[in-house]
Structure 1
């Protein structure tokens, strides 16, 4: 499962979720000028079959404007630390897998 983490999510999460989401990357390692802009993250995700993971509602706007792919997962996890977010993602793994494999869905919110 290929998740591309937006800049507003800690890069440390990639390591913490590695066993469950092994093909995940953080936007700070994609081949664009850093920090990566939302549109650059969007284009990279689309070209490389990633699902974007973010806290940022701007990706929802891009999704409505441009359509999928890529799909977008928006974390609505206020006041959670990096470890708690990683644990939440791992606990929602089946839901995330189902979302990614369903061609009729474009956006998933996780609380």
Structure 2
């Protein structure tokens, strides 16, 4: 389960969730000018089989324009700090896994 975290999510979260979500990567670590633009993140995720994890609804528009892959998970978890957000993701692991494995789904919103 490969998640690519958008720039609007702290890179520090990877250390907390890496046991639950191995192979996570932050957009700061991809080969592009930083901060990486949405289109660059999209292209990297598509070419490397990642699911994008973001707070940014612009990825929903890219998804509607371009289709899948990649899939997109939009976090609607307002006012959560990094530890709280990490725990939300860990708690939702089964839902996230199911979403990624289901070829009929393109977008997942997590509250």
TM-score, normalised with respect to structure 1: 0.99
Q: State the Cα deviation string for residues 57-93 of structure 1 (Å, max 9, x = none).
A: 0000000000010000000000100000000000000
Alignment of 1:1-111 (within 5 A): 1-111=1-111
Q: Name structure 2 gaps, 5 residues minimum.
A: none
Point out where structure 1 has 5 or more consecutive residues left out of the alignment: none
CA distance in 2, matches of 1:69, 1:15: 26
Give structure 1 regions of 4+ aligned residues with deviation exceeding 3 angstroms.
none
Q: RMSD over aligned Cα, in angstroms?
A: 0.4
- Aligned residue pairs: how many? 111
Q: Deviations over 1:5-44 (max 9, x none)?
A: 0000000011110001110000000011111000000000
| Separation in 1, partners of 2:19, 2:108 | 21
User: Following the alignment from structure 1 to structure 2, what is the Cα–Cα distance between the partners of residues 37 and 15?
Assistant: 23
Q: What is the TM-score of this pair, normalised by structure 2?
A: 0.99
